[in-house]
Amino acid sequence: MSTKVPENVKGAVDFDPWLTPFADVLSERRFLADKWAYDITHATPDGSYQSLTKFARDSYLSYGLHADLQSKEIRYKEWAPNAKRAFLVGEFNEWDETSHELKHKDEFGNFSITIPPKSNGEFAIPHDSKIKVMFVLPDDSKIYRIPAWITRATQPDETTAKAFGPAYEGRFWNPPNPYRFAHQRPSFNEHTGSLRIYEAHIGISSPEPKIATYKEFTQNVLPRIKKLGYDAIQLMAIMEHAYYASFGYQVTNFFAISSRFGNPEELKELIDTAHGMGILVLLDVVHSHASKNVEDGLNRFDGSDHQYFHSVSSGRGEHPLWDSRLFNYGSFEVQRFLLSNLAFFIDVYQFDGFRFDGVTSMLYLHHGVGESGGFSGDYNEYLSRDRSHVDHEALAYLMVANDLVHELLPESAITIAEDVSGYPTLCLPRSMGGAGFNYRLAMALPDMWIKILKEQKDEDWDMAKIVYTLTNRRHGEKVVAYCESHDQALVGDKTLAFWLMDAAMYTDMTVLKPNTPVIDRGIALHKLIRLITHSLGGEAYLNFEGNEFGHPEWLDFPNKNNGESFHYARRQFNLVDDDLLRYKHLYEFDAALQNCEREHQWLNTPQAYVSLKHEVDKVIVFERNGLLFIFNFHPTQSFTDYRIGVETPGCYRIILNTDRKQYGGFDRIDESSKFFTTNMAWNNRKNFIQVYIPSRVALVCALE
């Protein structure tokens, strides 16, 4: 192996010298992505240079159906290399299989047609009318598909279901009065800005047992998110999926948004309204796999099994656990499709970035499944030539995707990787030789909290292990900390509130009854777990909707096993609005937490200095960005005049106190108290203060 570090990864190796033995491997992986980017940006007829942005935009503006407002012509282009002939059929031509044949495919497998206006000058295809493409295959058989780049697909009505079966149907979306955005994107600086993310699913965002809509979310939920103090929303299940219970992770139509919740203009209004509130909107984008549906998805779109995906016979075409198809990221046309998909959502819907789903599955040929999916952190597991099993093509795609997103949004792009493996350099800039993500999810944190609550008594909690897990992240690679996400809310798992209080939540959350030990403990620890994860666990924070107030029930979508019931596919915000229930206390604390961070800022600052992890007292103390955090996890013991080390001298005051009555506490803290430092070293800090810290209480203090 060469001792000279290749120039294209020198930044990453200088940043982390432990990468030196693997520099050549990192270099090869970056070279592949850079080569793809070069090929894409030089893939013009005359060989001239184009940007990734132009390539992606030109692609989504070229492929699919497009209406020319001036000429009233409709253009349609489709890539289907295995088809012999292609015809556009729909309500507009009474499903005539011969009247609108697409021009014969070119050398790349593209078919196209331009449909002139009707004699009265109107578009030949009415807005929102049903449409499909019919392919004639080499054996002269016929197949019907929804255009791959369709921007609207809906559940079939009885007429269509009789003719074509239960598959979704394509719609020609060309509204006469399209929504016009009124607000600019909120500004965001990745290097200095805080990111407090509210993870949400439109369909479940109502107390009623039904599918909620974009409009209802705009009217009813956005104001709550604003009040709580979150500055970003991560929208799940937006890309169209035929199976509701898949949680949006079995995508059938990549350019269409879920029609269950409403139409495209209503989603634009939602995002625009959020922007008007200063809230960024992220898309949970699923490029890690696709639904196996044939009639209404990409699978066997042109009759072959290897158009967008690896062939099944190759052993790489199907996910071993998800029952889904896996993209062939090395294909130029697949790169075109996926990259333009990102540009489409940024341009057309004004999304501000993406949470990339299933990055671990993408990164490894084993998809993180089985014994080979266990990751200890040893660099050989990721970067050894013979042991890493890394899918170089998938990694290269992610690198180029990050290039594109940051090119489209140079001042405010946000990309988050859902990666449990800890792949080194994933969140280093591309210019240094990294993959270019801004953040990765800190997926070990919720696992830790559930393991503790499931297996340990309160008096056995290990303060050092808690601190280690919360701070164990790669230097310089930012993470999104969270206690629980949608994964922990799903049926079969338990939310933290359920682990803490379980059945007592149904009987003892009323303020009309005296508090019980179970509820006291649950409310106290729910707040402490959130605060310490928020302040110690990462450079950004995420919460799944409803978990902020301890939603009392799990999440289960309508399916055969539950009789197609919506009872658990909803968020009971009505519980927060009921002044007779204690859910409001957790809700008010979450608002105080988010707004305290917004005012004083500890996220996206250097890691905290932890000065105390006391196993007997169950006390943790740390400083971050000039703020002092004091946690007493002891189940029974309160401490008077407890000595706390602090580096900077001065007068400290309380800015957040979990024991407030409005947060479900006992008002044992005098918040007018001021703590003056004593100039004497304590716990490796230059000064100390003395505080009263009751059991199961946390304080955040700031210099006055």
The pLDDT > 70 percentage for the chain reads: 99
| For range 509-516, the mean pLDDT | 94
Domain boundary among 600, 631, 657: 600
Do 524 and 380 lie in a common domain?
yes
Q: Are 214 and 76 within one domain?
A: no
Q: What is the pLDDT of residue 1?
A: 46
3-class state of residue 655 by DSSP: strand
Reference 83, options 139, 146, 144, 137; nearest CA is: 137
Tell me what pLDDT residue 159 has: 76
pLDDT exceeds cutoff 50 at 373: no
168 and 207 belong to one structural domain: no
Same domain, 364 and 249: yes
User: pLDDT grade, residue 387 (50/70/90)?
Assistant: low
The pTM (predicted TM-score) of the whole model is 0.96
> Based on the domain organization, do 447 and 385 belong to the same domain?
yes
For residue 251, give the 3-state DSSP assignment. Answer: coil
- Same domain? 556 vs 568: yes
183 in any annotated domain:
no
Determine whether 266 is an active site residue.
no
R_g of the chain, CA atoms, integer Å:
27
Catalytic residue among 296, 352, 393, 418: 418
Same domain, 433 and 287: yes
621-627: Cβ within 8 A, 24+ apart: 621/645, 621/683, 622/467, 622/535, 622/536, 623/647, 623/685, 624/535, 624/536, 625/600, 625/601, 626/702, 626/703, 627/535, 627/600, 627/602, 627/655, 627/700, 627/701, 627/702
Per-residue pLDDT for 563 more than 80?
yes
DSSP 436-499: --SEEE-THHHHHHHHHHHH--GGG--HHHHHHHHH-S-TT--EEE-S--HHHHBBTB--HHHH
| Angle, vertex CA 511, rays to CA 542 and CA 654, nearest 5 | 50
pLDDT band at 372 (very low <50, low <70, confident <90, very high): very low
Report how far residue 318's alpha carbon sits from residue 327's, in angstroms, rounded to the nearest whole number: 9
Residues 378 and 485 in one domain: yes
Confidence of residue 192 (pLDDT cuts 50, 70, 90): confident
Q: Quick: pLDDT tens for 339-350.
A: 999 999 999 999
pLDDT of residue 376: 83
pLDDT of residue 114: 97
pLDDT one-digit tens code per residue, 233-246 = 999 999 999 999 99
Quick count: other Cβ atoms within 10 Å of Cβ 356? 26
Residues 137 and 159 in one domain: yes
| Res. 51: pLDDT tops 80 | yes
Range with the poorest average pLDDT among 347-356, 376-385, 617-626, 662-671: 376-385
Total structural domains within the chain = 4
Residues 633 and 594 occupy one common structural domain: no
The answer to whether residue 427 sits within a structural domain is yes
CATH number for the domain that contains residue 634: 2.60.40.1180
pLDDT in tens, 316-335: 999 999 999 999 999 999 99
Residue 185 counted as domain residue: no
Q: Which of 199, 295, 357, 393 is catalytic?
A: 357
User: Among 172, 156, 64, which Cα is nearest to 124's?
Assistant: 172
Asked whether residue 634 carries a pLDDT value surpassing 80, the answer given is: yes
CA 136 to CA 144: how far, in whole Å? 9
**Residue 418 annotated to the active site:** yes
Of 14-28, 343-357, 553-567, 585-599, least confident by mean pLDDT is 553-567
* Among 219-228, 372-381, 549-558, 634-643, the least confident range: 372-381
Of 540, 570, 600, at which residue does a domain stop? 600
User: Is 182 among the domain residues?
Assistant: no
In terms of domains, do 594 and 540 share one?
Answer: yes
Rounded to 5 degrees, what angle do the CA atoms 479, 25, 287 make?
50
Q: Can you give the residue range of the structural domain that contains 119?
A: 55-172
Tell me how far apart the alpha carbons of residues 546 and 527 are, in angstroms, rounded to a whole number: 14
How large is the average pLDDT for residues 14-39?
96
In a domain, 323, yes or no: yes
Examine the domain organization and report whether 45 and 60 are in the same domain: no
Query: Please, which pLDDT band fits residue 96 given cuts at 50, 70 and 90?
Result: very high
pLDDT in tens, 570-583: 999 999 999 999 99
Domain stop point among 558, 579, 600:
600
Given a cut of 90, whether residue 133 has pLDDT beyond it is yes
- Answer yes or no: is pLDDT of 371 > 60: no
- Across the chain, mean pLDDT equals 95
Q: What is the mean pLDDT of residues 73-90?
A: 97
264-280 per-position pLDDT tens digit: 999 999 999 999 999 99
Q: Which amino acid is at 389?
A: H
- What are the distances in angstroms from CA 685 to CA 535, 676, 677? 19, 15, 11
Asked if residue 190 belongs to a domain, the reply is no
Half-sphere exposure (Cβ direction) of 701: Cα atoms closer than 13 Å: 34
**Residue from 676, 673, 690 nearest 648 by CA:** 676
Instruction: Report yes or no on 421 lying in a domain.
Output: yes
In a domain, 2, yes or no: no
Q: What is the pLDDT of residue 48?
A: 72
**pLDDT-based confidence at 76, cuts 50/70/90?**
very high
- Give the separation between CA 569 and CA 209, rounded to whole angstroms: 7
